[in-house]
Structure 1
Amino acid sequence: MLTAVLSALGLLTLYFAIIFVKDYMLASKEGRLEKPSFIATGAVGFATNFFDALGIGSFAPTTALLKQFKLTNDRTLPGTLNVSCTIPVVVEAFMFITVIKVDPITLVALLAAATVGAILGAGFVAKLDVKKIQLAMGVALLIVAVVMILQQLKIFPAGGDAIGLSGIKLIIAIIGNFILGALMTLGIGLYAPCMALVFALGLSPTIAFPIMMGSCAFLMPAASVKFVKEGAYDRKASMAITVGGIVGVIVAIKIVQSLPLDILKWLVVVVIIYTSVMMFKSYSKPVEKKA
């Protein structure tokens, strides 16, 4: 089953990579590559994808750094983010899925749920009040973080260490990841909420990594192909971030593999608290009025 999942992901990524590289080479041959430094944007890719592999997420920090150092423009930013982070995320998925032992049925079910959620849930989610979602997610993540801290301090019973789910817990996980996949269409990241979901259902915190990386890896290639075909991205920045990002991911995964489970749980707590704070921050910002 895992072989079939990885094969499908590999073929999907290969399709994207061929289109991406051909477009980049054609632009290079015709002298249409953008101005920003390949080394500078590559360094951004290394840093942001390093933290992405730790569960922090890459879109927000990549956006901040690219804008801070004026390495791309706002018009091409959405496409650049998707295209540049696609292959690093797929590398994360491949490495975590093959390194961390997960029940195949649980993994496949949750990957499928997130993918279907992003495709079918977009229309429904788009009608929801984003502010209320941000507030609810911020509160929920903060509660999970507090519970994890109390368990780490031995005040509450320790969390679970299962590698798979069955019965009602599996159904809850599928519904939860479907919703998280749909929420991605509103720009709400899947990583920290997925960590919280996995932990709440009694799975080992390590299980969140292949699930959340795999969920995003299946979503991104198809979306990124559209940006490439429409030319709505910065080719040079995307290639540089991709190259730097792959290196950053490999380094980060080596670190995650070597971390004891106790330290990894504290890392998960930090990621969840960070994301909760970002949710509250987004909630506090005034809604931009449409013209």
Structure 2
Amino acid sequence: MINIVLGVLGVLTLWFAVVFVADFIKHKDNLETHNTWGKVLFIGFITDFFDTLGIGSFAPTTALLKGMKQTQDRLLPGTLNASHTIPVVLEAFIFITVINMDPTTLVSMLAAATIGAYVGAGIVSKLPEKKVQTVMAIALFITALLMMAGQLNLMPGGGDATGLSGVKLIIAVVGNFILGALMTAGIGLYAPCMALVYLLGMSPKVAFPIMMGSCAFLMPVASVKFVKEEALDRRASMGITIGGIIGVFIAAYLVKSLPMDILKWLVIAVIFYTAATMLKSASKNKEITE
């Protein structure tokens, strides 16, 4: 079953890579002049290194691209998707193969996230972004506090399960379906997925193949569309891709060797960071609407 999942993912990624590289070669003599290879390679390495640790790559990449003035705002969506597609797929391949977990649980959650993103695109995207961000931030703060309490032995927390069944599997599938749908509203999947996995009593390690696999199935198709519509910064996208691949391999080795106690604290830190980011975004939305 896992081999089938990786096979389908490989075909989707190969399709994107062919389109992406062919487009770059076609325009290699007419690349953007407002950015440099050194800066975009650095951005790719840093953002995908931390993406592999579960931080997420879109927000840091946006901040660095804008801070270093490496692309135009109108090209950001396409650049973000195209530049991180291959690194994210590599993350998914690495963690799906090196971290053992129940195939039924993994495939069910990947399918749920993919279907959720497809079905929810027209629904969730119409919800008030500020409310979605606020609710998600509060939920993540509560989850992180519960996880911290478990780490401090104030209450039972987490677990070492690598698969689910019965009611817990149903909750996991429904939860990942919702998280996939929320991606269409700009809510990152990584931290909420970590929280879902932890609260269902699973090992924090299995969050990595689940969350990265979920995103990996969504990105190639969207990125092909951006490339064909020429809605991306080609130099930035290619540079971030190359730097990101290097960052992924280094970070994946570190994560694989991290002691579980350190990994649990890393998960807590990621969730707190994401919750704070969401509250900040919600606050900005409020300022704009009022």
Asked if TM exceeds 0.5, the reply is yes
Give the Cα–Cα distance (whole angstroms) in 1 for the partners of residues 70 and 285 of structure 2. 27
Shift of the alpha carbon at 1:40?
1.1
CA RMSD after TM alignment: 1.1
Give the Cα–Cα distance (whole angstroms) in 2 for the partners of residues 194 and 286 of structure 1. 24
Normalising by structure 1, what TM-score?
0.97
List per-residue Cα deviations over 1:238-259 (Å, max 9, x = no partner).
Answer: 0000000000011111110110
List per-residue Cα deviations over 1:59-112 (Å, max 9, x = no partner).
Answer: 001000011111111111110000000000000000000000110000000000
Does residue 5 (structure 1) correspond to residue 27 (structure 2)? The answer is no
Shift of the alpha carbon at 1:131?
1.6
Give the Cα–Cα distance (whole angstroms) in 2 for the partners of residues 22 and 126 of structure 1. 32
What is aligned with 1:159? 158
What is aligned with 1:271? 270
What is aligned with 2:52? 53
Name whichever of 31-40 and 42-51 sits farther off: 31-40
List per-residue Cα deviations over 1:113-164 (Å, max 9, x = no partner).
Answer: 0000000111111232222211111111111111111111111124211000
What is aligned with 2:77? 78
Secondary structure of the structure 2 residue equivalent to 1:256: helix
Contact persistence 2:150–2:158 (CA under 8 A): yes
List per-residue Cα deviations over 1:21-47 (Å, max 9, x = no partner).
Answer: 00000101xx21112111210010000
What is aligned with 1:34? 32
Give the Cα–Cα distance (whole angstroms) in 1 for the partners of residues 157 and 194 of structure 2. 16
Does residue 169 (structure 1) correspond to residue 164 (structure 2)? The answer is no
What is aligned with 1:94? 93
1:113-132 equivalences under 5 Å are 113-132=112-131
List per-residue Cα deviations over 1:169-217 (Å, max 9, x = no partner).
Answer: 1111111101100110111000000000111111111111000000000
Q: Supply the AA of the counterpart residue of 1:176.
A: G
Give the Cα–Cα distance (whole angstroms) in 2 for the partners of residues 157 and 76 of structure 1. 46
Secondary structure of the structure 1 residue equivalent to 2:27: helix
Which ranges in structure 2 are unaligned for 5 or more consecutive residues? none
Number of residue pairs matched? 288
Give the Cα–Cα distance (whole angstroms) in 2 for the partners of residues 117 and 156 of structure 1. 33
Contact persistence 2:134–2:278 (CA under 8 A): yes
Q: Supply the AA of the counterpart residue of 1:22.
A: A
What is aligned with 2:137? 138
Secondary structure of the structure 2 residue equivalent to 1:286: helix
Normalising by structure 2, what TM-score?
0.97
Taking only the aligned residue pairs, the percentage that are identical comes to 64
Give the Cα–Cα distance (whole angstroms) in 2 for the partners of residues 187 and 129 of structure 1. 11
Give the Cα–Cα distance (whole angstroms) in 2 for the partners of residues 42 and 72 of structure 1. 14
Where does structure 1 differ by over 6 angstroms across 4 or more consecutive aligned residues? none
